[in-house]
Chains A and B, each alone.
Chain A
Amino acid sequence: MSKLRILFDRVRSEEKMLQEKASELGHDAKMIDAKITQVNTESKKSDFDFGDVVLERCVSYFRGLHFTACLEFLDVPVINSFEVANNCGNKMITSLLLKKHNVPTPKTYFTFSSEAALENLEKIGYPMVIKPVVGSWGRGVMPLKDRDTADAIIEVRELNGGPLDRIYYLQEMVNRPPRDIRVIVIGDQVVAAMYRTSSGSFKTNIAVGGEPVACEITKELEDVCMKAAKAVGGGILGVDVMEDKKRGLVVHEVNNTVEFKGLARVAKKDIPKEMIGFAIKSAIK
């Protein structure tokens, strides 16, 4: 029996599934609310009940990331590591790592002011896709079909004025069917895959109505996803893949605290069981 802790800030069905499965497997599984936990520089591992391993499942990326740093400071094994969370939480860093490790990925442009972004777009041409470097569920992902749209969207970004709004992430519009593939990689294996078909818009996120449909795990899909997972440091990851009509599979994102409610409905393998097994195995190492 191992002691598994699930770090949360909002309990979703995924966290409940994880706790139920861990208990069913005979482990001591408890939830830790990140919002009410207090850590300081004098804290010791023994001051807390963080068990043998913590699964970081915060819905807030920055909260989860910073809490992970505290757990690593306390020498508590945590899945995923700070480095992996940091690599996946920022789309620019993910894109750079994917390319660096020869993972096929859409061509992506980075600029660091609105002027440079517009100048860059004039050079590249349209359509393009603008994405916030931090964010999820397809939020803030917008197609830029012409100069007028780009002017408007970039002006709004300027008005918002958040520090990350000044980082412009512009990606080629991939010529693909109206769907993408979400793949769950756990350690050194691909555990499940599904197509997410868009419900009319160009976004395919389940959070905005994308429909999950089971997807066969081909050798090509497995290879590209394992390579992508390794590029960001490995762990429990959600790899997002598009089917480019010319180039084949391209990876556009790797998610750190993967949601699997949709995929669990169509997957052959027991996703929570695989996650728990991996976390416990990692802690023993």
Chain B
Amino acid sequence: MNCPECDAKLNIPDDAAVGEIISCPDCGSDFEIASKNGSTCQLKQAEKVGEDWGE
């Protein structure tokens, strides 16, 4: 699967789960796995880190 931003090849591990974040090794964009069907994933832009993020 390619990066929706820069078209570089994304490395999505087989055990990646919905909700996990995938970073593009080339442009650094972050994507969230929105859904997964076998080896086919749908990606959406990941949320930016918020001020209230953490523990």
Contact = CB atoms under 8 A, between A and B. Distances in A.
Nearest to A63: B52
A31 B33 CA distance: 13
A9 interface: yes
B54 A10 contact: no
A117 B30 CA distance: 38
A256 B55 contact: yes
B38 interface: no
A231 B29 CA distance: 42
Interface in B9-31: 17-21
A134 B51 CA distance: 8
A215 B15 CA distance: 33
> Do most interface residues of chain B lie in helix, strand or loop, or is the interface mixed?
loop
Contact of A162 (B17, B46, B51): B51
Contact of A137 (B18, B19, B53): B53
A31 B17 contact: yes
A207 B54 CA distance: 9
A272 B46 CA distance: 26
Chain B contact-residue range equals: 10 to 19
Contact of B53 (A8, A35, A61): A61
Contact of B51 (A19, A31, A63, A135): A135
B39 to A, nearest CB: 18
A60 B53 CA distance: 4
A238 interface: yes
A255 interface: yes
A9 B47 contact: yes
B42 to A, nearest CB: 13
A259 B54 CA distance: 8
A272 to B, nearest CB: 15
Interface in A4-33: 8-11, 15-16, 19, 31, 33
6 contacts: A10-B19, A16-B20, A19-B17, A62-B52, A139-B54, A255-B54
Interface of A: 8-11, 15-16, 19, 31, 33, 35, 59-63, 89, 132, 134-137, 139, 162, 207, 238, 255-259
- Those 5 A-B pairs whose CB atoms lie nearest each other, nearest first: A136-B54, A11-B19, A255-B55, A61-B52, A11-B20
